[in-house]
Amino acid sequence: MKVQKSINRNVFIHIKINIFMDVLSKIKPGRKEEAFVRKEARKFISRINKKLKNAKAVIGGSFEKNTWLSGKYDIDIFVKFNYKKYREKDISKELEHALKYFKKTKIHGSRDYFQIKHGKLNLEIVPVLDVKNYRQALNVTDVSPLHSKFVKQNSNKKIQDEIRITKQFLKANNIYGAESYIRGLSGYLVELLLIYYKSFNSLIKNAAKWPDSLVIDIKKHYKNKEDATRNINWAKRGPLIMIDPVQKNRNVAAALSKEKYENLKQIAKDYLENPNDGFFFEKKFDLNALKGYIVLRIMPKPGKRDIVGAKLLKLFEYIKNKTKEEGFELTDHGWHFNKISYFWFKTEKEEIDLVRKHYGPFVDDFKNLKNFKKKWKGYKVYKEKNKTYILVERKFPRIRYFLKNLIKEKDIKENVKKIEIFRWKYL
């Protein structure tokens, strides 16, 4: 029996190694690709630096940390301004002046930054103060170069490859990205997790057993979990608290939702039960897989991807909740975000009762009950436990007509270019 278990364990390890190497060969930039990107980025940086005074442009983000994925040429460039000379100045304006001869897009935020297309590279030019520690920072972006420094100092080529594998795994399962419409794991959070757990397999084994809430403090800034939690703003707490090694009062995992945390735990369990490379590659969105669903097609308004995505998510949640409130029981639902986006819903019944209960105040809330009866004069008031209600006729007892009417709402139409019914289950 022990011999058999040992054999099975060895086979399992062999499978995982083969998967790791196969996936890595597809996502890790080759020498030529890396040399090309580095050369183009340096060209651009050299041009910027000629225009700058008391500031210096440097490569940042995943490219600097050597954790970027092949084919992804989104590169962060930090323009570091002298702290003493510029701490009270608008460094966004200073940078804009230096970039006046470049074709650029200004992105507004707590501190404006710029996007520039340079050949195949998509560059984000971010102004920061050259700070020595987080206490000097006047903006959250000022600390970003310190994050890069920590990751570089605490990783090696092996860990960098483990980070790449993990990023790809999370991307494929829609858990990667701190944007508000994803609420998954940020790149920096992934890097810290791999510095802590040392390997993708170790992370997955542990993630499968993560409790409802977890605190990780790599630098041991705090005595224990309770002490760490107390020092994090309650609004920034979540299922995972990752103490920022360079800023001890910050939770790196603040954007991670409970849903995505639980998704990661479940997918980790699934992978351990049946490890295969299918977990590492995104499944293409397939409309044909939505047979039996009610599908809405949406053309979003143009804009920055994370802002557009956040608006779409808000719209999806609104339509979903309104449908449930009306009394339609949804057995499944989801959404896909792209230039053409889709919302889908599944319900067992296309048609529900013609009348619905419209609840009023509590039985003993005499003042509001009087107003309720006045507003709904002519309707019989019923009692259900300690609540009152009336029976109201539904305008749209069929879900197709309910949704058709719902998407005509002004607030919905104004937030998208176009929204329409694409497919019905019951036709």
- 140-196 per-position pLDDT tens digit: 999 999 999 999 999 999 999 999 999 999 999 999 999 989 999 999 999 999 999
pLDDT at 109 exceeding the cut of 90 = no
- What pLDDT sits at residue 2? 46
With a CB cutoff of 8 Å and minimum separation 6, the contacts of 121 are 37, 40, 41, 44, 73, 75
Nearest residue to 334 via CA among 278, 391, 295: 295
pLDDT band at 17 (very low <50, low <70, confident <90, very high): confident
Cβ-defined contacts of 106-115 (< 8 Å, 24+): 107/304, 110/139, 110/140, 110/141, 111/139, 111/141, 113/141
**Cα atoms in the 13 Å half-sphere on the side-chain side of 70:** 13
Rounded to a whole number, what is the distance in angstroms from the first to the last CA of the chain? 58
Residue the block writes with tokens 């920590």: 150
pLDDT band at 5 (very low <50, low <70, confident <90, very high): very low
CB 399 within 8 A of CB 322: no
CB 386 within 8 A of CB 424: no
What burial letters (b/e) apply to 104-120, b meaning 16+ CB within 10 Å?
beeeeeebbbbebebee
In 3-state terms the chain splits into helix, strand, coil percentages (rounded to 5) of 45, 20, 35
Q: What is the mean pLDDT of residues 50-72?
A: 92
Q: How many beta carbons lie within 10 A of that of residue 103, not counting itself? A: 8
Which DSSP letter does residue 352 get?
A: -
What's the CA gap between 251 and 238, in Å, rounded? Answer: 9
Which DSSP letter does residue 112 get?
A: -
Q: What is the mean pLDDT of residues 355-376?
A: 92
Q: What is the mean pLDDT of residues 264-274?
A: 95
CB 78 within 8 A of CB 128: yes
- What pLDDT sits at residue 54? 86
Q: Give the total residue count for the chain.
A: 427
CB 370 within 8 A of CB 388: no
pLDDT band at 425 (very low <50, low <70, confident <90, very high): low
What's the CA gap between 296 and 344, in Å, rounded? Answer: 6
- What pLDDT sits at residue 349? 86
- What pLDDT sits at residue 6? 47
Question: Which domains are present in the chain?
Answer: 1-142 (3.30.460.10), 154-283 (1.10.1410.30), 287-352+396-423 (3.30.70.590), 355-393 (3.30.70)
What's the CA gap between 393 and 52, in Å, rounded? Answer: 69
Nearest residue to 29 via CA among 148, 156, 164, 120: 164
What's the CA gap between 181 and 184, in Å, rounded? Answer: 9
Q: What is the mean pLDDT of residues 51-78?
A: 93
Give the predicted TM-score (pTM) of the model.
Answer: 0.84
pLDDT band at 11 (very low <50, low <70, confident <90, very high): very low
- What pLDDT sits at residue 7? 42
pLDDT at 306 exceeding the cut of 60 = yes
Which stretches within 52-143 are classed as H helix? 61-64, 83-86, 91-98
pLDDT at 84 exceeding the cut of 70 = yes
pLDDT in tens, 200-227: 999 999 999 999 999 999 999 999 999 9
pLDDT band at 9 (very low <50, low <70, confident <90, very high): low
Kindly report the average pLDDT of the chain as a whole number: 91
